[in-house]
Amino acid sequence: MMLVGIKAPMIPMLGRMGLIPFATAIVALSACSSKAPPPPPTPQVSVALPLQRDVVDWDEYVGRFEAIQDVQLLPRVSGTIDRIFFANGQRVRAGEALFTIDPRPYVAALAQARAQVAKAQAALTNAQSELARADKLLAAEAISKEEYETKLAAVRTAQADLGAGRANVTTAELNLGFTTVRSPITGVVSDRRVSKGNYATAATTVLTRVVSTDPIWFSFEGAESFYLKYLRQAKTGERGSSRNTPNPVEVQLGDEKGYRWHGRMEFVDNAIDPNSGTIRAHAVIANPDGFLTPGLFGRARLLGSGHYHAMLVPDEAILTDQTRKLIYVVGQDGKVVARPVETGPQVEGLRVVKSGLAPTEHVVIDGITTLQPGMAVKQNLVKMRPKAADTAPQSTQETAPPASDATAN
């Protein structure tokens, strides 16, 4: 008899052996996913030592040119305009004849005054002769003392009349001289306000206007904050007050790029305007060819500080963090540090750093937007160079530019 048995299922050995490499692969993949990614490459930045300069700050103002002498020409005697000697707008010199008022009435008045002098002189001579005779008669007691005193009074009266007559001659001569109206100053004359044949009234009729042009004033108003700064600088001796020191000033016209007009401070007013909080001032500018015209607009830069030592860096190296200015410097450990600094104006195309930076520190001058404080960097040391020519004045201390500007020394 044959026994029939049921075979138990068997797992193939191949299948069991296949599970081992599958598990090993899972473990290997898990180990690979737990590894950290490779670090990014260390950034490379250019660094440089700050450029060192002794600089001077200049404060900027806006103003207009103004004639030092501005004369409205009025006649000193009345009469009819007889002649006009100038062309409208021409340059004239002091004492040059501009108008003639009909002189004939004043010639007659002078002749009359001289005749009165001759009359008074004759009366005086006669009175003196009578007084001389009275002296002898009084000595001989031939006349009374009262009659003698009458003769003496007549001499004194005649002397007074002669003095008055001579004064009238002087007045008549002056009036005759005033019939020729002359320019009181050297400058540029305006147009004629009267024509030949017009009647001009003394001290009333405007004949023309004459303004001086060389030298010329540049007038402006300064804020109270600048005025206080200058007062404190004068007190410490850093910068002399413009009241008594000819601090240099340079002026730029509206169509100019440079400051070509040189001058010096001459006047600061004695009070601050309570309405505007500003104080009036002016500088005197040489204008030998008369190019500068009263009323022209200009920008002036006035010496605003004494000399101080500063570091210069490019504007691209400076970051703004709200109200702070920051510069990245590389420490000895090769990591960048954010350094708060106080900045100033531009000099030679670079920005002045007044404080917060040492001359031996390496300043990052490019690639700063990708940096973070404490980040390690590779340094490429380069030399800091000016980006523009120095704008130092070519004039002397008497004739020399905001602390939006500065010059190196």
Residues 271 and 290 in one domain: yes
Residues 206 and 228 in one domain: no
In a domain, 173, yes or no: yes
What is the pLDDT averaged over residues 393-409? 47
The per-residue pLDDT for 401 is: 41
The per-residue pLDDT for 243 is: 94
Residues 319 and 389 in one domain: yes
Q: Of the ranges 12-16, 146-150, 361-365, which one carries the lowest mean pLDDT score?
A: 12-16
Shortest CA distance to 71 belongs to which of 211, 186, 171?
A: 211
Single pTM value for the model: 0.72
Q: Of the ranges 9-13, 186-190, 370-374, which one carries the lowest mean pLDDT score?
A: 9-13
What is the pLDDT averaged over residues 215-231? 96
Residues 86 and 118 in one domain: no
Q: What is the CATH number of the domain that holds 298?
A: 2.40.30.170
> What's the rounded Cα separation, in Å, for the pair 300 and 402?
9
Residue 396 has pLDDT above 50, yes or no: no
Which tens digit of pLDDT belongs to each residue from 348-378?
A: 889 999 889 999 999 999 888 888 888 888 9
Which tens digit of pLDDT belongs to each residue from 19-49?
A: 455 445 454 545 555 566 777 788 888 999 9
In a domain, 32, yes or no: no
What is the pLDDT averaged over residues 394-400? 34
Residues 294 and 343 in one domain: no
The per-residue pLDDT for 391 is: 58
Shortest CA distance to 252 belongs to which of 263, 265, 240?
A: 263
Residues 298 and 316 in one domain: no
Q: What is the CATH number of the domain that holds 204?
A: 2.40.50.100
Of the pLDDT bands very low, low, confident and very high (cuts 50, 70, 90), residue 9 is very low
- The percent of residues above 70 in pLDDT, for the chain, comes to 86
Q: What is the CATH number of the domain that holds 111?
A: 1.10.287.470
> What's the rounded Cα separation, in Å, for the pair 144 and 131?
13
In a domain, 9, yes or no: no
In a domain, 141, yes or no: yes
Residues 228 and 192 in one domain: no
In a domain, 4, yes or no: no
Residues 196 and 131 in one domain: no
**Number of structural domains, the chain?**
4
In a domain, 330, yes or no: yes
Residues 281 and 374 in one domain: no
Shortest CA distance to 332 belongs to which of 306, 358, 370?
A: 358
Residue 3 has pLDDT above 80, yes or no: no
319 SS3 class: strand
User: Which of residues 163, 178, 193 is at a domain's end?
Assistant: 178
Which tens digit of pLDDT belongs to each residue from 312-323?
A: 999 999 998 888
Domain hosting residue 373, numbered range: 45-56+307-395+402-408
Residue 18 has pLDDT above 80, yes or no: no
Residues 193 and 83 in one domain: yes
Higher-pLDDT residue of 391, 72: 72
Instruction: Supply the DSSP string of 89-138, one letter for each residue.
Output: T-EE-TT-EEEEE--HHHHHHHHHHHHHHHHHHHHHHHHHHHHHHHHHHH
Residues 196 and 89 in one domain: yes
Residues 351 and 243 in one domain: no
The per-residue pLDDT for 34 is: 58
In a domain, 359, yes or no: yes
By the 8 A CB rule, do 215 and 68 touch?
yes
In a domain, 30, yes or no: no
Residue with tokens 């601090």: 247
By the 8 A CB rule, do 326 and 319 touch?
yes
Q: What is the CATH number of the domain that holds 339?
A: 2.40.420.20
Residue 87 has pLDDT above 70, yes or no: yes
